[in-house]
Amino acid sequence: MIAAEPTEALYQLRGVERRYLKGAAQVLALSGVDLDIAKGEFITIEGPSGSGKSTLLQLVGALDTPSSGTVRFESQDLSRARDRALTDIRRKRLGFIFQQFNLVPTLSAADNVAIALDPGVPRRARAVRVAELLSAVGLAHRANHLPTGLSGGEQQRVAIARALANHPEVIIADEPTGNLDSQNAADVMALLVGLRRDTGVTLIVATHNEEVARHATRRIRLRDGAIVSDTHQDPPSVVAPLIPPAEEPLRS
Ligand code: ADP
């Protein structure tokens, strides 16, 4: 059984605060955050701009450490881990997706995926893995295109393939549909939901998109750096299928 009801704790946040200095003033971006995240959950982080969503994603993404409190990822306390350990976790266990796609403009879709692969993967295996990843996101036929030759939805699908390169256990996404029209947003969401169903990956997604949030198993709302609601829900079981990409027209 894959992606059944989550049971094992993956993250445990306790008394988490994150303060920033803004000039002479201190900004409390997160305060008093206690949160457990289980394996296989699909969590949306919602709330107005400035409520602390990105800050929270950076902490669970091992990109930042709290000013006080603890962030545990399984047995590891990320708040005390060395940079090297954090880098290792990011590279081997987490995958990231951003609103702006963050693809390298001078590299093809295939190379954008390839650069994310663990350097230890041998050359031949790399090509196979890249092809497999691009096919999984329906973009095998776009492998040699530069990002500028791809639509926004296709660019985000390349970014998803890149995020999946090293078989992450968690995908962390900051407004992944924020730059997409509703059809492409629906495709990206269907892809993420399908991935969770097929691989049991944990999804942690900051979003303003109600349609994305409707498919989550749990919705967390932030306001002024604090969790103001945390609701479990049964997502709809049927997700619109990813529209298969049109084949290149055959020459007659
Ligand atoms: P959201 O993602 O919900 O828009 P953020 O986590 O980006 O919220 O920001 C929360 C608060 O922390 C905001 O007041 C923001 O201005 C502040 N903040 C975020 N990052 C920094 C930073 N690097 N330096 C100073 N203040 C920051």
pLDDT of 224 over the 90 cut: yes
pLDDT of 3 over the 70 cut: no
Nearest CA to ligand 1 atom 17: 29
Taking residues 100-105, what's their average pLDDT? 96
| Residue among 228, 229, 227, 170 at smallest CA distance from 41 | 170
Ligand 1: nearest atom to the Cα of 54? 2
Q: Identify the band that residue 115 occupies on the pLDDT scale cut at 50, 70 and 90.
A: very high
Q: How far is the CA of 29 from the centre of ligand 1 (A)?
A: 6
pLDDT of 126 over the 80 cut: yes
pLDDT at residue 7, as a whole number: 54
Q: How far is the CA of 175 from the centre of ligand 1 (A)?
A: 15
pLDDT of 145 over the 70 cut: yes
Q: Identify the band that residue 240 occupies on the pLDDT scale cut at 50, 70 and 90.
A: low
Interatomic CA distance for residues 62 and 54, integer angstroms: 12
Please list, in sequence order, all residues whose beta carbon lies within 8 angstroms of the beta carbon of residue 210, skipping any fewer than 6 positions away: none
Average pLDDT, the chain: 91
The reply to whether ligand 1 has any atom less than 6 angstroms from the CB of 207 is no
Q: How far is the CA of 53 from the centre of ligand 1 (A)?
A: 8
The structure tokens listed for 186 are 């629906």
Taking residues 27-37, what's their average pLDDT? 97
- Percent of the chain exceeding pLDDT 70 equals 91
pLDDT of 234 over the 80 cut: yes
Taking residues 47-63, what's their average pLDDT? 97
The reply to whether ligand 1 has any atom less than 6 angstroms from the CB of 251 is no
Taking residues 216-237, what's their average pLDDT? 96
The reply to whether ligand 1 has any atom less than 6 angstroms from the CB of 63 is no
Taking residues 14-18, what's their average pLDDT? 98
pLDDT at residue 239, as a whole number: 60
Taking residues 24-51, what's their average pLDDT? 96
Nearest CA to ligand 1 atom 12: 29
pLDDT at residue 238, as a whole number: 59
Q: What is the pTM of this model?
A: 0.91
pLDDT of 84 over the 80 cut: yes
Q: What is the pLDDT of residues 170-195, one digit of tens each?
A: 999 999 999 999 999 999 999 999 99
CA distances for 122 relative to 116, 125, 127, angstroms:
13, 5, 9
